[in-house]
Structure 1
Amino acid sequence: MSAALPRSYLFVPGNRPERFDKAHAAGADAVILDLEDAVQPAEKPAARAAVLAAVSSEASPPAWVRINGSDTPWFNEDVAALSGQLGVAGIVLPKAETREQIEAVLATAHATLSILPIVETARGFASLAVLCAAPRVQRIVFGTLDFQIDLGIDGDGEELHLFRSQIVLASRLAGIAAPVDGVSTTITDTDAIEADARRGRRFGFGGKLCIHPKQIDAVHRAYAWSDADKAWAQRVLAAVETSHGAAVAVDGKMVDMPVILKARRILAGA
């Protein structure tokens, strides 16, 4: 994962424009203005207008926008209004299942627009390779809550291990960035949020969705290298440099190329 890619994506409802600036100031790496789940049907047009005003303003930083799904009556208008706006860093596409959905978004897109397809259905999961290979897909988002409902799965732990691993594998094979894990439903239990994020990181995810500013710090802690990690990496690279090609051990363990690459990744990320 590139160090420049977000670790945290904070959702803010598109029908709450008074929260947009607060969301940008909350400390998340990226903000997603949400037109989908957070907005009731009657409020969709007003929410779209509020988001359009925000991304059209030079005073507002670029934001991602989660549009409504392609199976809804709002999809075409969302795409027409937003995908060509330079203030839109990218489109978050819910219920992503086909390349055609992505191409429909890109039909009116500006040249640097990226796509984050959300895999949250069985059909979407079955189409992972297609979605990962589609144009301008930066990374895959795992919509864990809707995915559990679609498949009748009860649980976010070991019940989803297979699916998380497959999403990471498909992303790596396609040469796109490490995927983004789904939300934690708890807001106040920061230990649980950090544990959720660390689990995703162990599986190879590169970031996590957030539904409240209180979750951001816990996610960032999970995706940060500790002082002990950095010190270990420095010892490894120092030992390799002084060994002049000879076999070397650090902390009682042999140092081979995978260990060296990990040490370099830690220090690059730090």
Structure 2
Amino acid sequence: MTGGTKKDDSLGRYSFPLFVPATRPERFAKAAASGADTIIIDLEDAVGAADKEAARSGLSDGMVGLSGASVWIRINGVSTPWHKGDLEALNGLPIQGVMVPKAEGADMLSAIRSTLPDHVALIALVETAAGIHKATEIAAHSDRMAFGSVDYALDMNCASTREAFLFARSALALAARVSGQLAPLDGVTTKTDDPDLVAADAEHALALGFGGKMLIHPRQLDPAKRAFAPSEADIIWARKVVDSTKDGTAVAVDGEMIDAPVLERARGILERQGVAS
């Protein structure tokens, strides 16, 4: 089980990683300076088959001098002809994480883990029925999970709706919690010109116990972060609760009895206070 490791601190309890195509190294620095806590340089879906090797070979030059954000690489899946080369290309790169697509079990993740330096986190992108079925196993062999909603809908032949994704999202959140892992990251919102939809999707993810959301455009960053940040009314209530129970005794605040679970909820709200900054 990986929960509670030092990697958790580097991953961040709340995270909003921004994808950038590996074929566009000139965008790496811009993405890192966008305000995203993490950028995901994508060797998989964003790169066509004819460009895989060129994208891989250009990683090192494109990452020179990057600052302002952690860097993850999304590699190609284990069933592809590019997987082994991707892993070999990671050697010596200044990265903090590797995202594994189509994560479906312990054997796959353990094999990849054995090739990585200790400080590099393993992020399991769960995007198939088999992956959701083995969510607890995946959580125990990774540092964080993320929900690949687009590919999950394709695999399940289901609608891309909150109702259709409810079981999968809940399974990931539950598996992460049981394993002592950081809360999972939600999948992308494919519309880049609808901030209200991004915010609504992020609010839904937060309500289900997620710890952030993956993004595909810098303009999605602010609405996603604001959705995870508590309201001013919530902050005022949380401060009142925490200030009223410093000695650990149960008290009533605004007619509400404050016991340990309520106190922890208040502390959680205050932890989210800086998310939108």
1:39 aligns with 2:47: yes
Residue aligning to 1:75: 83
Residue by residue over 1:176-212, the C-alpha shift from the partner in whole angstroms, topping out at 9 and shown as x without a partner, is: 1000000001111111100100100000000101000
> In 1, Cα distance between the equivalents of 2:24 and 2:47?
9
Residue aligning to 2:260: 257
Shift of 1:33: 0.2
Q: Give the alignment of 1:98-177 within 5 angstroms.
A: 98-134=105-141, 137-177=142-182
C-alpha spacing 1:35/1:26, structure 2 compared with 1 (3 Å): same
1:88 aligns with 2:95: yes
Contact 1:31 1:63 (C-alpha < 8 Å) held by counterparts: yes
1:269 aligns with 2:272: yes
> In 2, Cα distance between the equivalents of 1:6 and 1:52?
28
Residue by residue over 1:135-179, the C-alpha shift from the partner in whole angstroms, topping out at 9 and shown as x without a partner, is: xx2211100010011011113211111111111111111111000
Shift of 1:107: 2.6
Instruction: Number of aligned residue pairs: give it.
Output: 263
> In 2, Cα distance between the equivalents of 1:86 and 1:15?
16
2:31 counterpart letter in structure 1:
A
Deviates more, 1:142-151 or 1:102-111: 102-111
Residue aligning to 1:219: 224
> In 1, Cα distance between the equivalents of 2:31 and 2:61?
16
> In 1, Cα distance between the equivalents of 2:74 and 2:97?
9
> In 1, Cα distance between the equivalents of 2:33 and 2:175?
34
Shift of 1:86: 4.8
> In 2, Cα distance between the equivalents of 1:31 and 1:254?
43
Residue by residue over 1:209-249, the C-alpha shift from the partner in whole angstroms, topping out at 9 and shown as x without a partner, is: 1000010001110111222211111111222248x73x422
Shift of 1:78: 0.2
> In 2, Cα distance between the equivalents of 1:229 and 1:122?
37
Work out which of the residue numbers 8, 14, 19 in structure 1 matches 2:27: 19
> In 2, Cα distance between the equivalents of 1:172 and 1:219?
22
Contact 2:75 2:83 (C-alpha < 8 Å) held by counterparts: yes
TM-score relative to the length of structure 1: 0.92
2:77 counterpart letter in structure 1:
G
2:160 counterpart letter in structure 1:
G
1:49 counterpart letter in structure 2:
S
Contact 1:7 1:219 (C-alpha < 8 Å) held by counterparts: no
Shift of 1:81: 1.2
Runs of 4+ in 1 over 4 A off after TM superposition: none
SS of the residue corresponding to residue 208 of structure 1 reads coil
Contact 1:15 1:39 (C-alpha < 8 Å) held by counterparts: yes
Shift of 1:126: 1.3
Structure 2: 5+ residue stretches without partners: 1-7
1:231 aligns with 2:239: no
C-alpha spacing 1:117/1:4, structure 2 compared with 1 (3 Å): closer
SS of the residue corresponding to residue 35 of structure 2 reads coil
Shift of 1:69: 0.5
Contact 2:150 2:160 (C-alpha < 8 Å) held by counterparts: no
Q: Give the percent of matched residue pairs that are identical in Structure 1 and Structure 2.
A: 41
1:60 counterpart letter in structure 2:
L
Structure 1: 5+ residue stretches without partners: none
Contact 2:19 2:217 (C-alpha < 8 Å) held by counterparts: yes
Deviates more, 1:96-105 or 1:138-147: 96-105
Root-mean-square deviation (CA, aligned residues, Å) is 1.8
> In 2, Cα distance between the equivalents of 1:52 and 1:73?
21
Residue aligning to 1:9: 17
Contact 2:228 2:272 (C-alpha < 8 Å) held by counterparts: no
